[in-house]
Amino acid sequence: MKLKTLFILSMVLIFSVLLSGCSASAMRTNSWSGLSADADNAYLANGTFVYAITLKNGGQLWQYPAEGADSKEAYFANPVLTDDGQLLIASAGSNHSLTSLDTTNGTANWTFADAIAPWIGSPTVVDGTIYAPNSDGILYTLDMNGNLLWKKEIGGALWSQPVSDGKMLYITSLDHNVYALDLASQEIAWSVSVEGALPGSAAIDEAGNLYVGSFGSNVASISTSSEAIAWDSEIAGWVWDAPTLDGETLYVGDLEGNFHAFNTSDGSEVFAPVKLNGPITGSPLVLDDFIVVGTEGNLETEEFGKAYAIDREGGIVWQQTINGQLYTAPVQGGDLILFSPVEADAVLVALDLDGRQAWPFTPAK
Amino acid sequence: MWQTFIIEPMTNLLLLIYTLIGQNFGIAIILFTILIRAITWPLTAQQLKGTSGIQELQTDKEWMGIQKKYKGDKEKLAQEQMRIYKERGINPFGSCLPTLIQFPIIIGLYQAIIRSLAATPLSLLNLSRGLYPILDVTKVIPLKSTFLWMDLGRPESIQVFGFALPVLAIIVVITSYIQSKLMTPPPNPGGNDQGAAMSGMMSIYMPFLMGYFALTFASGLALYFITSNLLGIAQYVMMGKANWDNVIPGRKK
């Protein structure tokens, strides 16, 4: 009986440790990062911190919170720079906080913490009003001082940054719908359903057409005038992030590692999909000479993610291996291309336009 | 390995059940638990048989005789014990096996629940891998995580007069206690007092440990615990092994 009891006690102990481990790994706070940049600085949301980094040499300007990590915060969303010098950071942690930082020194201007669920997507600013989608399915509207103006239940979990043409706000939802919210009436004017969940934003062109990719393994164009799908192209894998417009071409990556280019007029493919070394979860970055995308790499073979530069005919101009997985969309900062790998020591890597590493940024321990 | 043989099959099975029953994740967990209980039914029966068989040996004359006879010769005592086990058709490890099997199921289920509900970008990305091609889950992802008053991906509680009352955790403690007490055979005068005491301690500690897990982790896991406990109780009753006198202290005969 003694042996049996000891055995059960040992099992319980192992079980507790394993279960705690499961929980921790499920909510790894550094599992995703958010990135934005202006001409001089990069802003990186990573785990429990947000960093400002100078593009000159990758040196840290400040970190938020300055005094140390708050375990209730977890920053996944891309920080948003506003015209009046605020940096909006949204937390997926248990605090459910949306905070405005002063970009000059990283101190908090205000915090909005009335949402009931984590923030996965970034807010967007239209005409001096902040529209913040939450995974509770509600769109929170704030003034630039963080005061709640109104809120609207949209539906599903909202994980992506809304886009706007000034009159309407277009919100994609994990409930498979694209919602058009009339900013004047604050009511949903119309919605269009697509094949699968929409974790990424829509892209919008000057004619008012929306382009979305979904977990239905498709890319669709939605006409905002007819409020219906104009074309729908099937592809091999699920689409995670927003497609990127480049004139009359639409670029998008899928989770099967294919890089696609579509004609915006009819959804036909410009060139055959380019197969890369792993799933593509970030939107492509369009530059003058090529398009840049990052990959997760291959987890089974432990192959790191890669940055690819692809020309407009589908040829690979250069490729650069970066330690870690590249989940977040690359961002241009000055003459540099920025990637924020996860599962790596360097949480931000800057490449020049030839794909050579300019500098890595590793936070001080 | 763990991923391929435990998490992915469990996740796909949960998603299959979820799809078939009209997208109710709570019902999917309950049906999944019934399925697991049905698969492990023979093992549980073996556990009960092993436990009661070993218990009966405590008062057996031959068993007590070899304890006395080979008191100073542990090797010979072990040989004789194994002989009696063999003769009576008792597997001394039979009572441990179901417990051993439960652990990977619970851990795997917990990971499958968290993975299926995909509350974070990485968990949603992980869900996208390892889905079996025969499953068309495009239309059902993301899963609806609510069941009755619960969000199955988060710990559960109900606000009562301003206090967060963890209803599921309490039910887990109660059902775990009843189950462990039901399967404990009545103490016998000639039995091993130390062993009985430790067994009694386990039947107190285990429910609270399970309750702690239910309180701390996703409520989907608590739903599994409750369903599993109720099915366990039903099995003991059906097999005629339930010892109700043990459940209420002071009612022992």
Which residues of chain A does B187 touch, with a Cβ-Cβ cutoff of 8 Å?
A: none
The least confident of A53-67, B43-57, B78-92 is B43-57
Helix or strand run (H / E) with residue A174: none
Nearest to A22 among B110, B124, B209 (CB): B110
B114 inside 8 A of chain A by CB? yes
For residues B63 and B56, give the distance between their C-alpha atoms in angstroms, rounded to a whole number.
Answer: 10
Which residues have a Cβ under 8 Å from the Cβ of B236 and sit 6 or more positions away? B48, B179, B182, B183, B242
Rounded Cα gap, residues A211 and A200, in angstroms: 11
Task: Give the one of B103, B120, B198 whose C-beta lies nearest to A11's C-beta.
Answer: B103
Under DSSP, is residue A25 helix (H, G, I), strand (E, B) or coil? helix
Instruction: Count interface pairs A-B at CB distance under 8 A.
Output: 96
Please give the share of chain A, as a percent, with pLDDT higher than 90: 86
Partner B, chain A 312-331, Cβ-Cβ below 8 Å = 327
Query: pTM to 2 decimals?
Result: 0.83
Q: Which residues of A touch B217 (CB under 8 A)?
A: 19, 23
Distance from CA of A98 to the nearest CA of B (A): 17
Among the listed residues B211, B140, B113, B127, the one whose alpha carbon sits nearest the alpha carbon of residue B171: B211
A63 vs A70: CA distance, rounded Å: 12
CB burial of residue B116 (10 Å; 0-12, 13-18, 19+): buried
The verdict on A334 touching B (C-beta cutoff 8 Å) is: no
B210 close to B173: Cβ distance less than 8 angstroms: yes
What is the C-alpha separation between B78 and A122, in angstroms, rounded? 67
All structural domains of chain A, each given as residue ranges with its CATH number in brackets, are: 1-108+276-365 (2.40.10.480), 154-271 (2.40.128.630)
ipTM of the complex: 0.87
Q: Say what angle helices B97-117 and B25-39 make with each other, to 10 degrees.
A: 160
Indicate the DSSP class of residue A330: P
> Is some CB atom of chain A closer than 8 A to the CB atom of B63?
no
Q: Tell me which of B40 and B150 has the higher pLDDT.
A: B150
Nearest chain B residue to A33 by CA distance is: B121
Q: Answer yes or no: do B120 and A240 touch at CB < 8 A.
A: no
Q: What is the pLDDT of residues A220-268, one digit of tens each?
A: 999 999 999 999 999 999 999 999 999 999 999 999 999 999 999 999 9
Q: Is A92 on the interface with B (CB under 8 A)?
A: yes
Mean pLDDT of A350-364: 96
Q: Are A264 and A246 in contact (CB under 8 A)?
A: no
Token digits of residue B57? 């040996």
**CA distance linking residue A162 with residue A123, whole number of Å:** 7
Residue given tokens 């710990």 in the structure block: B155
Does the beta-carbon distance from A216 to B138 stay under 8 Å?
Answer: yes
Given a contact cutoff of 8 angstroms between Cβ atoms, the answer to whether A320 and A336 are in contact is: no
What is the per-residue pLDDT for A26? 42
In this predicted structure, what is the pLDDT of residue B139? Answer: 82
**What would the mean pLDDT of A81-100 be, rounded to a whole number?**
95
What is the C-alpha to C-alpha distance for residues A266 and A230, in angstroms, rounded to an integer?
8
Contact A22 B103 (CB under 8 A): no
Contact B103 A14 (CB under 8 A): yes
To the nearest whole number, what is the mean pLDDT of chain A? 93
Put simply, the answer to whether B121 touches A1 (Cβ < 8 Å) is no
Q: Indicate the domain borders of chain B.
A: 2-246
Cβ–Cβ under 8 Å, residues A107 and A85: no
Cβ-defined contact of B119 to A174 (cutoff 8 Å) = no
Neighbours of B7 (CB within 10 A): 21
User: Judging by DSSP bridges, how do beta strands A249-253 and A203-204 pair with one another?
Assistant: unpaired
Q: What is the pLDDT of residues B205-238, one digit of tens each?
A: 788 888 898 888 888 889 989 998 899 888 888 8
What confidence score (pLDDT) does residue B120 get?
Answer: 87
pLDDT tens-digit profile of B59-100?
788 888 888 888 888 888 888 888 888 887 777 665 566 666
A221 bridge partner residues: A211, A231
Q: Does A118 touch chain B (CB under 8 A)?
A: yes
pLDDT band at B193 (very low <50, low <70, confident <90, very high): very low
